[in-house]
Structures are given as C-alpha cells and as structure tokens.
Structure 1
C-alpha cells in the first residue's frame, strides 16, 4: 500500500472519529502503550530444550506437523525476531521453564537456576523487550500419574514445590535485571480422567503446597505471581484440582493476580464477562488469549466477537494498567510465524477498536434508559474505518501494512524455515 493511500485513508478516518469526539492520535498512543506477552511455545510446538525428543505429556498437545518448527534456541530466537518485525509496538516474550539454555545437558526441573536463563535475559535486553515466565508442570515422568503439587505422594509434591521455588527465583532475577516485574504464571495439569472421590483432599494438598512455596516473600518490584485455572484437560476430563473456584478463592484470599485463559471454561462461557467482577477483588488480572474450538484446543487468535468483547472490557473498565494481555495458543498445522502474526495483529486490532469507542457517550445513555441510542451507536461503530487507523499505525512503526506481512512470511519460509529438516 502506498504512503499516499495510507495517509489519505487515515485523514478520512480521523474526520469520522472526530465527529464522535474521539482523538485518533491519542488512541494510537494508548495502543502503543499496551504490550502483548508473546508466548515462545508457538514456534516449536511446546517442545522446549530440556528433552531433545520434545514429547508432550500431561494435558498438552499440539496438533499438526507443518514443516519448519524451531529446533534450537538460536532458531526460536530468530523466529521471534522475525515475528517482532511484522507487528507494531513493543512487546514481551513469555518463557516456559523448559526453554532454559541448558548447554546440551539435562537439568531436572528441581535444579534449574537463573544462570540457565541468562542468555535469554541478555537477548531480550538487546531487542529492548521484557520477559515473563511460566513454571512447567507437564511433560515430565513425575507428572505421569496426573498429579504434581496435589499428589498424595510427598516425594512427588516436594519435587514440584522445589521446581516452583526455583521458577519464582528465576522470574525474580529476570525482573531485577530488566527493571520491570516479571509475571510468573502458575498452571498445573493435576486431575483425573474419570470419577474422583478425593476431590477435597487433593485441593487441600494443592493449597498447602502453594502456601508453603509462596510464603517466600519476593518484592513485587521484581516478581508478580499469578495462578491459572482450568475446567478440564486431556486426561483430566472428569476432575481438575485447580478449578476456577479454587484459584479465584486463592487469589482473592492472598491478594494476588489471577490468570483467565479464554479456553479454560465451559464451551459457552466467556472470560470477557469475568473481568469486571475479578477487578473488584484481585489487584491485577493476567489474560491468556486463545481461541477454543469445541474444547481448549488453543487455535490461533482471530478477530472475533469474544476477542473484541475482551478488549472492550479492558478499556471500559478504566483499568488497562491492571490487566495484562498475553497469548497462549500452539498450532502446528500452519506456518508458525504466520500463526504468531495473525494472532498478535488481531489482538491489537481488537484493542484499537475498543480504544476508538466513545465510551463516555455510550455510558451516558444508560442512566437515562436510552438503550436504543446505545445499541445504534454500537452498531455504527462496527462499520467505522478503524482499519485505516491500524494501517497508519503499522506504517509509522515501520512494519508491513495490510497484507504485506503475508509475503514477508512467505519469503522467510522460502529462505529459512523450509530449510529445516
């Protein structure tokens, strides 16, 4: 798209939005202040670098075998750098514990240290991005019976408690060195495939395990812990220990962040409606934006109604600084760089539409019961030229505009990923 076309379309969009009292330039500024925490595991199908075979177990499954997955830290970093060149804004990268730089040696989960992630910290500093972190409680022999922190066997629990301790310290060191708190996400796959009798007992053990590990106080200047709930997973269709009710209660009681994943609830249940409630009771919310199809299948995020509703709730709440946006999907059936680009750009487009909404005007209708006017404006907004604003934003940031990123990804595939065997 030519610069003249971009600028002309933007000027026209500014005029349309100005009629609604919206400053488009300010909306772009606000969008540019919202980093998206990009998940490292889309690039290699959640394989990591702990186990050369990279087999997934414990409720995690990437489907498809599209050629060109990242096989080494160097390849993964190169892919992420390419992704960052295709999207506007400054973002974060979310790491799992299995992505450590282990130098070709096996380091068990209860032995990992900050030194295994120092090269990631140095790399991120060079790129000018921040890092987030995730404990990894799946794909390990000590998780094969379906339980980790809530296992009846104290030896199993102790192993995973030590893993969690070390992950918190690694995340804290990341936060210290980057001068910005590292969000550390805690999700466990614990549960059972069929009917479970000892539900309360397992949940008591999970609470005790978390209480013990989280009793080690670390400054929130460096570390922000968050707990993530789930309805069910592969192999835990009947019972998941860390349910929404469990972690909602735990987060509220301990005044800590709660993670809401778009795919971790009933098929007809959406997390956009939960944001306003949880903001009343927890200090911050962490979002894992994915796209469930039938179940928690972690499809690539697209610009659909729920993504827009999520973005609207973030903006309408007036608490953008308390809601952290991260992506969590892994599709191995299509070009992985393309999956990243589509998901990130779609998320930004949804956020931009929310920022271009005359929220005060819409809200003013409600006390006067002007529901027709509210509905009419919301419908008119759907046809507003928001995409011209996003194209202008991309152009000013020096990244591909419109469908140009598709050709960039095709070139990268021809020159880089297609050469990987």
Structure 2
C-alpha cells in the first residue's frame, strides 16, 4: 500500500517541476472537478440488460467478446459493481443507463411502453450517491431491429415503434434530470445500415430525418434534458453504409441545435477525433464525447492513456471548453475482470485530462504565434517526461481512493469475495 507521505513528497517535487513552466498543479487538480465522467452501465454485464430474465445480446450491430466469470446478472449486482468502481476513482462520476436496464420486476414491457416508473429505483439510487444519470434509447437487440433498420426502416410499423420508444426515453430522461437536478443527456445511436452495397441511401436518410423531426417535436427544459446524436462509420452488418453518418448527424445537429456525440471508436483508424472538437464547437453549443478505443475493425476496447485520448483532452482544455463538453465512456470487454476494465478506462481518461490541464498552453501559443516551431515541439516533448503521474497519485490521495497500483489488489479481493460467487 502506498505510503501517503511518499505520495505527498513526490507531489511536491512534481509541483516544483511544473512551476518551472509556470503551471500551478493545485489549480490543475481543482479544474479536474469539471471532468465529470459518465460510466456506461453496459460494461458490467456485456450489454445484456434486464428486459427478460437472463437477457442476452442478440445482434443489431453490437457484439461483446469474452466470457470472463463474474458479470452482473441482476440490478442489485450491477449497482454493487458500479459502486465499487466509483469507490476506486477520484472525483465525481455519473451513470449512463440504457433503456434495457429498467427495473421491470419480472414484467415483460416492450420498449414502446416504458415509463419513468420502470427507472424510478435507479433515480432513487442515484440520489443516495449524489450523482447524475444519462439515459439512452436501446435501438438494437430486438426483433424489430433484425433487418438492420430502426428509425430509418421502410417498414412503417417498425419505424413508428422505434419513434415511440425514443420519444419515451426523452420523457424519462427529462424526468430523471428534473428529479436529480442535473440535466440528463439522451443520446441516440441506431445500428441502421446495409451489409452490402445499397442503392437507395437517400430514402433511408430521408426517413431518418422524418423520424427525428417527429421525435423532437416535444421540447423539454435544457436544465432537465440534453439531446444528442451519435454517428458511426460502420458496424457489424452495416459495413457498406450507415444511415446515420457523421455528415448526416452534424448537419441535423447544427440545424436543430442538438449535441453531436463523437465516439472515438466510430471513425477511420487514421482519423483523430480530437481534431474535430474545435471545429464543431464553432457551430454547436455543446458536445458529447464517448471515449473508447478502436482496434482494427472493433470500436470498443478498454480506454488506455494513448495519443488519441490525450489529443481529445488537450483540444478541449486548449479551447477552454470543459463546461461545454459531456464526457462518457463506451467500451465493453468481457474478456477480463469487468470492474478492472472500468477502472483502467476511467483512470486513463482522467489522466488524459490532467495531463492537458498541466500543459503551459499560453507559453506554447506564444511560441506558435512567433513562429518558434522548434521551441514549441521541444516543450511538447519535454512535457512527456514531467512527473504528471505523481500529480494524479496525489489527486487520488486527497480523494481518499487507492493510489497507483493499490486498486489492483482491491479489485482482486472483490473478485474473490463477490464476483467469483456469481453463477
């Protein structure tokens, strides 16, 4: 276990090292209060949900790999796991909840019939923890999504079903935001697309626009609800065309003043989504970011502290946009301890934001304005060797959560005492 005095001593050395660059580490830690990460509930149970007993994922563009023992199978288990995760993280988090995670009490409730009563126990739980909840429609893993189309379906019965579902999730999200006193982000992602080469792309996109127009007819106070739209380059079963492309949703969001959700696993591997932040913020009030990690064709690996997530955080901080960004995680890995995956991914995201907040941005801008590109590059390189890890350790210490590798032992013990006993 880390010695608190050693952590404090290392922090003082780091504080002095950053002060040489004109950076106040105490101020950077204070700014971390604005980084409120929304934890995705589906990492704990492989996107199964609780619509029916022993719910299992059944397609629709989502696939979880791995069968590591101990996944959550009940609401009580899921909540216990999320509470354990939060106990290992500094700062405040939120919960991102999908519609299939309702407290249905064994009753079969189809998605066009869900109400706030099916999620009230989640709201009450969140009140006790003092956290906010984001809420998403679940437009996959349903018989009406088996043909690969939902809000853009040419089957009018199916399309109206999904319109009603999303309408109800907006109502529920607004009520959640009202009760918790924190706006709930309702993010729409659909798997709609074509496996092979389509001819009538325009018709499906026209139907999607028509569906969204119908869904957004009812307005809710912004202090209760934020609407967001999430694109994807391709998915399983939609390799040739995704209806809700980045261009489609960007155009729709700008015209209708909605949030654009950028998922770091939903673009071409050579694209840097951090580069999109400053452009989009010129045209929309706020952005939702889903931090993930794409590996080859798969978009949802556990987040690590890599160049991609670092650039995302840097661009947000450099644009002074922390208060205009909602940050959520979106990965699902069933091949390892799911609690460990949560903590690694969240801490990596926090590390990226802290690293960005420890940057002497004004000095770097000065070099840039003066055409001092060697000096700019040299300083950026020097920052990579600065002891930002010691600052993060101190951030954990003052938040009374495990420092450094200490959380590994805690998770291993939780696995022995709790996860290993689940059937």
Give the TM-score band, short-chain normalised. over 0.9
Alpha-carbon separation, structure 1, partners of 2:163 and 2:57? 23
Offset at residue 55 of structure 1 (A): 2.6
- CA deviation profile, 1:340-392 (whole Å, cap 9, x unmatched): 00001111111100000000110111121000110010000000011111101
Offset at residue 96 of structure 1 (A): 0.2
Alpha-carbon separation, structure 2, partners of 1:137 and 1:418? 32
Offset at residue 174 of structure 1 (A): 0.3
Offset at residue 56 of structure 1 (A): 2.8
Query: Is this contact kept in 1: 2:89–2:343, CA < 8 A?
Result: yes
Deviates more, 1:23-32 or 1:49-58: 49-58
- CA deviation profile, 1:114-167 (whole Å, cap 9, x unmatched): 111100000011011110011100000001011011111111111000001100
Query: Is this contact kept in 2: 1:38–1:326, CA < 8 A?
Result: yes
Offset at residue 296 of structure 1 (A): 3.3
Partner of residue 352, structure 1: 354
Any unmatched runs of 5+ in structure 1? none
Matched, 1:286 2:281: no
Alpha-carbon separation, structure 2, partners of 1:292 and 1:209? 30
Alpha-carbon separation, structure 2, partners of 1:102 and 1:122? 15
Alpha-carbon separation, structure 2, partners of 1:63 and 1:281? 38
Alpha-carbon separation, structure 2, partners of 1:297 and 1:22? 35
Q: What pairs with 1:2-81 in structure 2 (closer than 5 Å)?
A: 2-52=3-53, 53-81=55-83
1:142 alignment partner, one of 119, 144, 163 = 144
2:329 alignment partner, one of 327, 330, 338 = 327
Deviates more, 1:53-62 or 1:374-383: 53-62
- CA deviation profile, 1:198-228 (whole Å, cap 9, x unmatched): 1000000000000011011111110000000
Any unmatched runs of 5+ in structure 2? none
1:168 alignment partner, one of 167, 170, 190 = 170
- CA deviation profile, 1:64-111 (whole Å, cap 9, x unmatched): 000000000000000000000101001100000000000011100000
Q: Secondary structure at the match of 2:52?
A: coil
Partner of residue 312, structure 2: 310
Offset at residue 51 of structure 1 (A): 2.8
Partner of residue 240, structure 2: 238
Query: Is this contact kept in 1: 2:173–2:186, CA < 8 A?
Result: yes
Query: Is this contact kept in 1: 2:34–2:322, CA < 8 A?
Result: no
Alpha-carbon separation, structure 1, partners of 2:327 and 2:319? 14
Query: Is this contact kept in 2: 1:46–1:56, CA < 8 A?
Result: no
Alpha-carbon separation, structure 2, partners of 1:183 and 1:2? 40
Q: Secondary structure at the match of 2:309?
A: helix
Alpha-carbon separation, structure 1, partners of 2:52 and 2:64? 16
Q: Detail structure 1 runs of 4+ shifted over 4 Å in the superposition.
A: none
Alpha-carbon separation, structure 2, partners of 1:299 and 1:213? 31
Alpha-carbon separation, structure 2, partners of 1:350 and 1:205? 39
Query: Is this contact kept in 2: 1:262–1:288, CA < 8 A?
Result: yes
Query: Is this contact kept in 1: 2:52–2:106, CA < 8 A?
Result: no
Query: Is this contact kept in 1: 2:266–2:299, CA < 8 A?
Result: no
Q: What pairs with 1:336-415 in structure 2 (closer than 5 Å)?
A: 336-415=338-417
Matched, 1:298 2:300: yes
Partner of residue 117, structure 2: 115
Query: Is this contact kept in 1: 2:50–2:74, CA < 8 A?
Result: yes
Query: Is this contact kept in 1: 2:262–2:290, CA < 8 A?
Result: yes
1:199 alignment partner, one of 198, 201, 204 = 201
Alpha-carbon separation, structure 2, partners of 1:75 and 1:191? 34
Normalised by the length of structure 2, the TM-score is: 0.99
Query: Is this contact kept in 2: 1:148–1:190, CA < 8 A?
Result: yes
Alpha-carbon separation, structure 1, partners of 2:415 and 2:349? 24
Offset at residue 412 of structure 1 (A): 0.1
Query: Is this contact kept in 2: 1:263–1:295, CA < 8 A?
Result: no
Matched, 1:258 2:260: yes
Q: Secondary structure at the match of 2:119?
A: helix
Partner of residue 223, structure 1: 225
Alpha-carbon separation, structure 2, partners of 1:296 and 1:272? 19
Query: Is this contact kept in 1: 2:59–2:146, CA < 8 A?
Result: yes
Q: Secondary structure at the match of 2:260?
A: strand
Offset at residue 319 of structure 1 (A): 1.1
Q: Tell me the matched-pair count.
A: 421
Alpha-carbon separation, structure 2, partners of 1:302 and 1:287? 15
Alpha-carbon separation, structure 1, partners of 2:51 and 2:272? 34
Offset at residue 180 of structure 1 (A): 1.1
Q: Secondary structure at the match of 1:104?
A: coil
